[in-house]
Structure 1
Amino acid sequence: MLKPLATALLLAAPLCSVAQQILPLYPGPVPNATSYQMKEISVVKDGRVQYYQKVSRPTLTVFLPPKEKNARTGVVIFPGGGYVSESYEGEGVKIAETFVRQGIAAFVVKYRLPSDSIMVDKSIGPLQDAQQAIRTVRENAGKWGLDRIGIMGFSAGGHLASTLATHYRESLIGDVAGISLRPDFQILIYPVISMSETLSHKGSRTALLGQKPAPELIERFSNEWHVNHDTPPAYITHTGDDRVVDVDNTLAFYEALRHHHVPAEVHLYPKGDHGFVLKLPTDEWMQPIFLWMRTNKWL
């Protein structure tokens, strides 16, 4: 069992109002790590971390609903930021707090950002952390009262979530002792899906794969090419006028899901550009997600 890096009483944590624990993601050495200790950068406003950069020590922040409201469902959240930063507050903590109000446990991952300085192979570092995150939640499911565990990702965090959803059979964190790395469902918000030349968000691709990635790396991390009949059901939302991550990423992933008969619900909005949910109250724009979860009996 992991020991908490920090424990706080409900409503008393300085980082976020309902977080119960901040856990180191790995109980021992971080895999695929060099000896270099990069200094982490955080941007704080009103006592809450808004963004992280240069992450080399991954953590899992735990948000649990009161026992009497527990829906026995958890969601592991991956904030976005082009694989160069993490929008920890807007695409992490606020989302987790909204899930908790619905009786859903939430777990915000501060994952390692790809760097040749701190990783032997930077292309797999974030995915290792994503796999370890769902492993940790599954290992603690009994203690936290969970029957179903899904994932959620924003922008590049959406790429990380969809990579986990399509590459869960290949453990990059060693022996998982029979624990499934497959999420029960995936929620993708204006996601980067592809690393192909025509679809990819170039900044995310360069950060993860380098300036001139080999064709096999592009293929490996273009998730629309790795959907199969066992890929978890998906909820995806995007805007048609997204000038950062082309909506064709969502359309390509949906097409692959549909052709493999994977249940998927897509909400497309004509306007709003990238990060449109950050301009809206979370309780408002997340209502269709809660309805989708209830329809599928995850709530």
Structure 2
Amino acid sequence: MQNEMVETIALYTAQIPGAKDSMNQESLESQDKTGKFVVDVSQPQLTAYWPSKDLHNGCAVVICPGGGYRGLSIDMEGHAIAKRLVKLGISAFVLKYRMPSYKTMDIPKWGPLQDLQQALHIVNSGAKEWHLDPLKIGVMGFSAGGHLASSAAVHYQRPVLPTIDSKLFKPAFQILIYPVISMDPQITHLGSRTLLLGENANSLDTEYFSNDTQINKNSPPAFILHANDDGHVSVENSLRYYHSLRESQVPVQLLLLPHGGHGFGMHHEYNWFESFKMWLKLNQLIN
């Protein structure tokens, strides 16, 4: 018996707001046993994984794969995760979001967040039809996708597009796996910062997109995972976010692994997915 059904959902029905007319720039940079790494994404897309009726529990997650705002580890940090989530009865939506680029968008720093807010808006708007609980629709992000997911979690009152209702894109929870959080040059992932904000990022953009500085008491509860020896995205990103959430009395669980480096997805000797599953249960997101 198939555990899930897969469906592609258009993120925008007409011209993408803020996009320049251009050919599809996307290409496959590499592929290995963990899947594809696609770069220069310019046509965003949402892929829905629906659990079987007997497992379906109304919880939903929009997944943002990582790739340094240059590309997306679309299989290992996207589709593979969705296939695990549906086995828990969760409806999973893999977001192929656009890479910030002046070739394809008017204001590159807004492109990825616009796509994620639009995706959350679609999922929340479809909650009744899809039998989803609006109080159980969250975001999940890996690496730079973790920066994007946390951006949606802290900027939920600030729609990039004035046409969408901010009440329909606040994530109910956030799951951040070895995330980029801060744009502080001392701890950020410089590649992600440069591609998102440009070579000479100003102080306003640096603070706005340093998500640890944007938390308030209404920020969504969080599950954070990071390896202490991550050589690409310093664990200090997760530590700062954790401390900021605690200071604002937002429920947070931080799981630090002694080793594992960066970008391991679910390929780690420690089965972090079991800890994550327990967190979902304790937060009454799944039974």
2:190 is aligned with 1:167: no
Provide the C-alpha distance between the structure 2 equivalents of 1:82 and 1:44, rounded to a whole number of angstroms. Answer: 15
The aligned runs of 1:88-237 (5 Å cut-off) are 88-147=74-133, 148-177=136-165, 179-237=167-225
Provide the C-alpha distance between the structure 1 equivalents of 2:211 and 2:85, rounded to a whole number of angstroms. Answer: 26
Q: Tell me by how many angstroms 1:210 deviates.
A: 0.7
Q: Contact (CA 8 Å) 2:157, 2:166: kept in 1 or not?
A: no
Aligned to 2:274: 287
Q: Tell me by how many angstroms 1:32 deviates.
A: 1.1
Q: Contact (CA 8 Å) 1:152, 1:187: kept in 2 or not?
A: yes
Provide the C-alpha distance between the structure 2 equivalents of 1:269 and 1:164, rounded to a whole number of angstroms. Answer: 25
Of the structure 1 ranges 284-293 and 230-239, higher mean CA displacement relative to structure 2 is found in 284-293
Q: CA RMSD in A?
A: 2.0
Aligned to 1:261: 249
Aligned to 1:86: 72
Among all aligned residue pairs of Structure 1 and Structure 2, give the percentage whose two residues are the same amino acid: 41
- Summarize deviations over 1:34-77 as a string: whole Å, max 9, x none: 12224211358599961221111100000010111111100100
TM-score in terms of structure 1 length: 0.90
Provide the C-alpha distance between the structure 2 equivalents of 1:213 and 1:46, rounded to a whole number of angstroms. Answer: 34
Q: Contact (CA 8 Å) 1:42, 1:49: kept in 2 or not?
A: no
Unaligned runs of 5+ in 1: 1-9, 12-16
Provide the C-alpha distance between the structure 1 equivalents of 2:118 and 2:250, rounded to a whole number of angstroms. Answer: 25
Q: Which amino acid aligns with 2:275?
A: P
Q: Contact (CA 8 Å) 2:260, 2:268: kept in 1 or not?
A: no
Provide the C-alpha distance between the structure 1 equivalents of 2:139 and 2:65, rounded to a whole number of angstroms. Answer: 11
Unaligned runs of 5+ in 2: none
Of the structure 1 ranges 221-230 and 178-187, higher mean CA displacement relative to structure 2 is found in 178-187
TM-score in terms of structure 2 length: 0.94
Aligned to 1:3: none
Q: Contact (CA 8 Å) 1:22, 1:59: kept in 2 or not?
A: yes
SS at the partner of 2:92? strand
Provide the C-alpha distance between the structure 1 equivalents of 2:175 and 2:33, rounded to a whole number of angstroms. Answer: 28
